[in-house]
Structure formats: structure tokens, C-alpha cells
Structure 1
Amino acid sequence: MQKNQQKIVLIGGPGTGKTTIINNLKKKNFFCFDEVSREVISKAQEKGIEQLFLTEPLLFSEMLLEGREEQFLNADKTKENIVFFDRGIPDVHAYMNYFKTKYPSLFIEKSLKYKYDLIFHFSPWKEIHVTDKERYETFEESTIIDEFLTKAYTELGYKIINVPFGSIDERTNFILNSLSCEI
């Protein structure tokens, strides 16, 4: 691990533009980890389980927690100075809170153990919100989920940097310009 490695998480409700910005950062040759839940959902759908989170929320969340922890540890193994994550470990318990699902204390313990350096928040944005086979939440649900996400990160002591609405390049540049101020 680089001593000065910056682990940076993009958070926000579904459909707020996080993955689009991650993809743009990849084009700019930044090291990025993709959202784990899409992979978990796709694997479940291949097995005939349409919405694993809705049918077995604890199992789904345990798989997410494991995947996000693995990403964090893999970031430590890289020589990259800056690593971006499409969602972080605290997202898991934030979603469990949103769905009023009980979960073991391990979820919070992992959130406390694996700390990120910067958190960039993407607010709900109706004009860009779309659903697909993995993202089924309505805009209204996305807005409520967003509140649970920001609460989870705030309760863990994170300072949240809000990314303004704008074009893909404007949002990406906002993040990159903020890095030079924060690092």
C-alpha cells in the first residue's frame, strides 16, 4: 500500500450518476472499483433469483459487505496513490437501515475498521434517474435511500463533499479539483 494512498468513495442514491463518473475517471486512467451490487444481482439473476435483496436481504448484504471489504483490501495491495470506489462499506448498513432489516454488529464494525479518506456525494437528480434490470428504485425511493446513506457516513464521522449537478466532465473535474485541495 502507498503510505499516502487516498481512498475516495462516491455515494448517493441509485441513479445519481456515480457509475458514469467512475467510468469517466477510468477513461482518465484513474484506478477505480466498480459497484459490487450489480455483480451480485447479475449472479443471482443467472440462478433465477430476480431480486436477491428483496427475497434474502441479509444474504445479499453479507455478499456486498464481503465484496466491498475485498475491494478495500485490494486497494491496499496496489501502488496507486488515488483509488476511487463506486460506493463504500457503510452503504451496506445504510441500505439495511432503509429497509428496516436487522443485521449483525459486524456491519458497523467493518465500517469503523475500514476508513476512507474522502466521500463525494451525488444528490438525487430527477433528470438523469433511470431504472434498469438491476436498478429498480423509483426516484422517490432513491431520494429516501440517499438520506440513509448520508446519515450513515455522517454518523461515522465523515465529512461529505457534495458534487454539484452538471455535465459528466464538470462533475469529474469538480472531484479532481477538490482532490488537489484536500490532499
Structure 2
Amino acid sequence: MISGCSGGGKSTLLAELARRGYATVAEPGRRIIADVRAGRGGALPWDDPAAFARCAIAMSVADYELASGLTFFDRGVVDAAVALEAATAESGSAWVARYRYDSVFIAPPWPEIYETDTDRRHSLDKALSDYVRVERAYRDAGYDAVILPRTTVAERADFVLADLGRSRSG
């Protein structure tokens, strides 16, 4: 699991791991937004945060259940449960307890690379407050999350693979 701060380089890291031949799963939030824009259903986070969070949980669970072998996820069940709790005050703890990841890496806030775009409309301040909730949720769920270094994408990928005892090439 690669989680952490919005705009912290998670998707770029996943792209590098995919380039090296590893299985990856793209962030549910961006896929949901793309589905809405393509007319395939879902909800936009700025229009209906609760429905968006429920879609993210469903997609994260499906991603988890479809994965086999070493797979790197860009966000997942814990992140979606945090979003659901923030939007509705409903507990996502049952999903967090049921769908466990073997390893968790956290991308810390990195203001120097943070950018908004058509899908990431929230401010850095909002990203930071979300980060605090997500990082706490992983810790509260019993994960011993590893903080990713702020370095080049290649060095970050090397760091993750070394932590997992894998080779650089896959």
C-alpha cells in the first residue's frame, strides 16, 4: 500500500514501479472521477463526498479482492474508510479490519511538488488535514507504516523495493 498526502508523489512512484514490471493499482479516487466524466456512474468528491467515499470503498475492496501476488496500491480501503468517516461520521472500521495490507508506505506532505489539477481541486491545507487523518488511521489499525523519503522517484522506488527485500528490476 502506498498512501499518504495528496500530491506527495504516490502516483508517480506507482508509475515507476509499474515501469519496473510490478503489478500496480491506480488510485480509486481518480478512477471514480474518470468514470463519472465518462458517464459510467459514481460521484464526484466536490459534489457528494459521502457517495464518493462509498464508491471508493467499493472500488478499493474490489481491487483488493482481484489482486494476486505482489501488488502496489495507490490508496485503498483505509483511505476510503477515512473519507467515509469524514463525510458521514459512519465507521469504516469493519472494512479496515477485514482488508489488510502486508506493508504500508506513507508519502509525507511535500509542499514543493504539490499541484492542483482538474481532479485535485483541494488546497494544500486540505491535503495536510486529510494526511493527518489517513496517517493516524493506518497507525490506529496497527500498521507499522514506513515513511517514504523525499527524493527522486527512482530512489523512492529503490527504497520501497529494498524495504520489501526485492530487486530493483522486478
User: Taking structure 2 as the reference length, what is the TM-score of the superposition?
Assistant: 0.89
User: Taking structure 1 as the reference length, what is the TM-score of the superposition?
Assistant: 0.83
**Greater strand percent: which structure?**
1
Q: Say whether the 8 Å CA contact 1:121–1:163 is kept in structure 2.
A: yes
Q: Secondary structure at the match of 1:55?
A: coil
Find the aligned partners of 2:74 and 2:104 in 1 and give their Cα distance: 11
Q: Could you tell which deviates more after superposition, 21-30 or 131-140? A: 131-140
Task: Write out per-residue CA displacement over residues 45-87 of structure 1, whole angstroms, 9 at most, x where no aligned residue.
Answer: 345x9x7212222211111101000000001xx3x3x111000
**Among 77, 88, 112, which residue is 2:76 paired with?**
88
Q: Does 1:63 align with 2:63?
A: no
Structure 1 vs Structure 2 CA RMSD: 1.8
Partner of 1:72: 64
Find the aligned partners of 1:67 and 1:11 in 2 and give their Cα distance: 16
Task: Write out per-residue CA displacement over residues 100-132 of structure 1, whole angstroms, 9 at most, x where no aligned residue.
Answer: 422544x22111101001100000101111111
Partner of 1:12: 4
* Percent identity for Structure 1 against Structure 2: 25
Trace 1:79-158 onto structure 2 (pairs within 5 A). Answer: 80=69, 82-97=70-85, 100-105=86-91, 107-158=92-143
Q: Which runs of 5+ in 2 are unaligned?
A: none
Find the aligned partners of 1:17 and 1:74 in 2 and give their Cα distance: 25
Partner of 1:159: 144
Count matched residues: 164
Partner of 1:32: 24
